[in-house]
C-alpha cells in the first residue's frame, strides 16, 4: 500500500512540474524530467544562445568581407570609382567594373593581366598623358651618364669625379669588362660610398 502511495505521489509531482515548465515561456535552457520510483528529478541540458542565428549571419558577413578587396580605378575610364572585387582579381576585372576604357585611353599602358591588391589605385592615362610620360622618361635617361660608355670629359661632369678618377673608371671597365650595376662603380679605387651617394641618381649602365 505504501509503495502505491509513493508511486502516486511521484506521478502527481511529475504532472505538477510539467505544468509549471509549460507555463514559463521559453527557458534559457532545456530540461528533461526524469522519474524513478517515488522520486522526480530535473536534468539540465546544454544551453542554446538566443542569438545563434544572428551570430551565424554576422560570421558569414565577416567572411564575405574578408574575401573582397577594394580598388580605386580612375583616369581614362567610363565610370571612375572604388570597386569591391573578389580576392585574386586582375586589373582587367577592375577595368570592367569601371565600365572599360574611355575613347581617349592609352589601352596598352597598364598590364591588364596583373593582379590587383586591396587599397590599390589603378590609373589609366590618356594617349596624350602616356606620350608625356614617355617623353619625360626619355629625357631623364638622356641626362644620365652611362658609366660603361662615357669618355673622360662626360665622366668629369659627375659630382666628386675629376679627370684622374674618370680615367680610373675607364681603366677599370677596360680591364674587368662592363659594369653590371651602378653599385659596381664603388669597386673603382678611390670611389667610396660617400661619393657614390652623390652620383648614384646621375649614372646608368645602359
pLDDT in tens, the chain (206 residues): 555 556 555 665 665 555 555 554 444 444 444 444 444 444 444 454 555 555 555 555 555 556 899 999 999 999 999 999 999 999 999 999 999 999 999 999 999 999 999 999 999 999 999 998 888 777 766 688 999 999 999 999 999 899 999 999 999 999 999 999 999 999 999 899 999 999 998 999 98
What is residue 133's predicted lDDT score, i.e. its pLDDT?
85
What is residue 155's predicted lDDT score, i.e. its pLDDT?
92
Give the three cell numbers for residue 78.
567610363
What is residue 40's predicted lDDT score, i.e. its pLDDT?
44
Residue from 113, 115, 124 nearest 69 by CA: 115
What is residue 146's predicted lDDT score, i.e. its pLDDT?
93
Collapsing DSSP to helix, strand or coil, 112 comes out as coil
The 8-class DSSP code of residue 187 comes to: G
Query: What are the φ/ψ torsions at residue 39 (nearest 5 degrees)?
Result: -145, 150
Q: Any idea of the CA torsion for 189, 194, 199, 200, to the nearest 10 degrees?
A: 90
Per the confidence metrics, is the pTM higher than 0.85?
no
| Pairing mode of beta strands 68-75, 121-124 | parallel
What is the greatest pairwise CA distance in the chain?
128
The 8-class DSSP code of residue 150 comes to: -
What is residue 143's predicted lDDT score, i.e. its pLDDT?
80
* Cα 167 to Cα 191: distance, rounded to the nearest angstrom: 12
Collapsing DSSP to helix, strand or coil, 32 comes out as strand
Give the three cell numbers for residue 121.
589605385
What is residue 41's predicted lDDT score, i.e. its pLDDT?
47
Amino acid at each position: 500500500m505504501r509503495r502505491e502511495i509513493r508511486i502516486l505521489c511521484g506521478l502527481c509531482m511529475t504532472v505538477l512540474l510539467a505544468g509549471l515548465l509549460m507555463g514559463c515561456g521559453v527557458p534559457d535552457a532545456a530540461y528533461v524530467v526524469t522519474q524513478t520510483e517515488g522520486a522526480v528529478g530535473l536534468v539540465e541540458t546544454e544551453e542554446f544562445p538566443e542569438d545563434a542565428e544572428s551570430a551565424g549571419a554576422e560570421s558569414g558577413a565577416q567572411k564575405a568581407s574578408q574575401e573582397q578587396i577594394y580598388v580605386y580605378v580612375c583616369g581614362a575610364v567610363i565610370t571612375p570609382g572604388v570597386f569591391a572585387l573578389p580576392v585574386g582579381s586582375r586589373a582587367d576585372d577592375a577595368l570592367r567594373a569601371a565600365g572599360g576604357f574611355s575613347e581617349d585611353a592609352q589601352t596598352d599602358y597598364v598590364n591588364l593581366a596583373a593582379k590587383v591588391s586591396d587599397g590599390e589605385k589603378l590609373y589609366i592615362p590618356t594617349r596624350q598623358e602616356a606620350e608625356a610620360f614617355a617623353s619625360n622618361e626619355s629625357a631623364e635617361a638622356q641626362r644620365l651618364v652611362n658609366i660603361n660608355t662615357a669618355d673622360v670629359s662626360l665622366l668629369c661632369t659627375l659630382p666628386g669625379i675629376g679627370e684622374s678618377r674618370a680615367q680610373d673608371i675607364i681603366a677599370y671597365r677596360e680591364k674587368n669588362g662592363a659594369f653590371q650595376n651602378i653599385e659596381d662603380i664603388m669597386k673603382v679605387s678611390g670611389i667610396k660610398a660617400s661619393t657614390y651617394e652623390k652620383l648614384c641618381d646621375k649614372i646608368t649602365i645602359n
